[in-house]
Each structure stands twice: as structure tokens, then as C-alpha cells.
């Protein structure tokens, strides 16, 4: 519950209360206008409380999401997954693979259980190379592809910075 009393959450709580009170007030105002003879106001008199209910729904869903995220962060992992992660990785020779001290390369061979750590492999990132358009039939398409290649090569640049 402490997580719901941060400055950001206090602003959300105040905004929710202000919106619900405002929407209910507007609904009451539409009811008074409808009672005075404005038939269109009956539709608005129904809509404003629905808007207020939607604000309460979103606020409640965000609270549940935050509390659920906090409870899963505090819970330990599944025991089966933890046990699988604690088993040492073995090489093809049957020897445990350990990471060398200081972040060096992993070595296969006998070692003490205290220094045995599983080796974590990172996914391989495959770089895609751009294929130039050779047909030359559409100059606009070729220029647009050069522009897109430049934007990809310069991710922090704005489109107005394009030199072409």
C-alpha cells in the first residue's frame, strides 16, 4: 500500500476524485436541463455518469496492476525454475563449464563447487544489410529508400536533418 502513496499516485488519486465529481456534477446539470425541457440533455445525463464509472474502472485497474506487480516482484521464483538455474552447465566432455573470475571466457574442466557458475549466453544479433536498388526505374523510390537508410543509420536525428 505504501507504493500507492507516492507523489505520482497522489496526483492520480486527486485527478480521479476531481474527474468523478466533475462528471457527476455535469450529469446532474444535464438532468436539470432535461427536466427544463431540453430533450437532448437526457442522452448527456446518461453519458456523464458512464464517463465517471469509466474513470473509476481505469483507476481501480491501475491500482490492481501496481499491487500485482509489487507482489510478483517480492515473491520468489518457481522452485522448479530455481533448481534448474542452479544446476551447472556441462560441456560435451561431461565436465562442468564455469565462468572464469573477472568475467573472462568460460572454461571446461574440474573446479570447486563454490566457483561453479552457470554460463549465460546472450542471443546473437544478426545485422541486416541494405540491398541497393539496381533497377533504377523509379528514382523517387530509390531516393526514399536512401532517406530511410539514413534515418536508420542516424536514430537520434530528426527527419529535417536529412542532408539529401
pLDDT tens, position by position, for the chain (164 residues)?
788 889 999 999 999 999 999 999 999 999 999 999 999 999 999 999 999 999 999 999 999 999 988 777 765 555 555 555 555 555 555 555 555 544 455 555 555 555 677 777 777 777 777 766 565 578 888 888 999 998 888 888 888 888 87
The pTM score is: 0.46
Domain ranges of the chain: 2-74
Quote the distance between the C-alpha of residue 57 and its chain's center: 21
Q: Which three cell numbers stand for residue 131?
A: 540491398
Sign, CA torsion 13/14/18/21: positive
Per-residue b or e along 44-81, where b marks 16 or more CB atoms closer than 10 Å to that residue's CB: bbeebbeebeebeeebeeebeeeeeeeeeeeeeeeeee
What is the residue whose three cell numbers read 474513470? 55
Amino acid at each position: 500500500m505504501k507504493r500507492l502513496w507516492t507523489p505520482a499516485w497522489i496526483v492520480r488519486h486527486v485527478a480521479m476524485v476531481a474527474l468523478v465529481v466533475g462528471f457527476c456534477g455535469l450529469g446532474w446539470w444535464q438532468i436539470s436541463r432535461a427536466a427544463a425541457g431540453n430533450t437532448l440533455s437526457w442522452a448527456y445525463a446518461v453519458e456523464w455518469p458512464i464517463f465517471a464509472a469509466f474513470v473509476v474502472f481505469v483507476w481501480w485497474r491501475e491500482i490492481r496492476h501496481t499491487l500485482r506487480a509489487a507482489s510478483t516482484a517480492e515473491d520468489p521464483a518457481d522452485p522448479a525454475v530455481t533448481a534448474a538455474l542452479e544446476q551447472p552447465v556441462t560441456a560435451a566432455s561431461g565436465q562442468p563449464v564455469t565462468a572464469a573470475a573477472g568475467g573472462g571466457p568460460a572454461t571446461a574442466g574440474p573446479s570447486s563447487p563454490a566457483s561453479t557458475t552457470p554460463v549465460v549466453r546472450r542471443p546473437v544479433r544478426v545485422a541486416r544489410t541494405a540491398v541497393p536498388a539496381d533497377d533504377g526505374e523509379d528514382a523517387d523510390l530509390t531516393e526514399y529508400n536512401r532517406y530511410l537508410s539514413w534515418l536508420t543509420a542516424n536514430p537520434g536525428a530528426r527527419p529535417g536533418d536529412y542532408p539529401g
